[in-house]
Amino acid sequence: MNLDDPNEERIQSLNKLLLSAYQSEEAYWKQRSRILWLTLGDSNSGYFHAVTKTRKARNRLTVIEDEQGLPHYEEDKISTLICSYYEKLFTANHREENDVTIIQALKPCVTQEWNDLLTRDPSPEEIKDAMFSIHADKASGPDGFSASFFHTHWETIGLSVIKEIQIFFQTGGFAGKLN
């Protein structure tokens, strides 16, 4: 390649310009994909279903290893392992020698009054406010109903929703019919 040749300089200049155009186009489509999802994803289209199926497949756990390193493939076993992991993580069953030193070194940041406020059952107003703070097009849970459904039918279902949520806070679980 001879850079003294005007054609070579022109080719290099055009290549740089083309590369810049490709990069600009890529940035444009990256930004545009969000808008595309908002317009095409809201309709019951093939695009919507393809994106949803891809996301579901990507987010799905098909295997998990237990503490011994044994793989588990069944959905109910995976769920049990995940739950037991977090139960062990957030439950203090025994104290280590260093725990006492750590506890003595920590100064409480939350007063008893704050703690009581944070651990009390939510009021019906708080539950309704939380439900209505969810964007109407977002799903509120695994039931598949968007928040819009709950917003629209709150007068009919609101008391039942409030009751179930308060039961959850009291018992730590939902009724079997909801799970």
Residue 170: partners with Cβ closer than 8 Å, 6 or more residues away: 121
pLDDT by 10s per residue, the chain, length 179: 555 677 888 888 888 999 999 888 877 776 666 666 656 555 556 766 777 778 777 878 889 999 899 999 998 999 999 998 888 887 766 666 666 777 777 777 888 899 999 889 999 999 999 999 988 877 656 677 888 888 999 999 999 999 999 999 888 887 766 54
CA dihedral of 85, 86, 92, 98, whole degrees rounded to 10: 80
Residues in the chain: 179
Is the Cα torsion angle 77, 91, 89, 164 positive or negative in sign? positive
Helices (H) and strands (E) in the chain, counts: 8, 2
pTM of this structure: 0.42
Rounded Cα distance between 41 and 51, Å, is 8
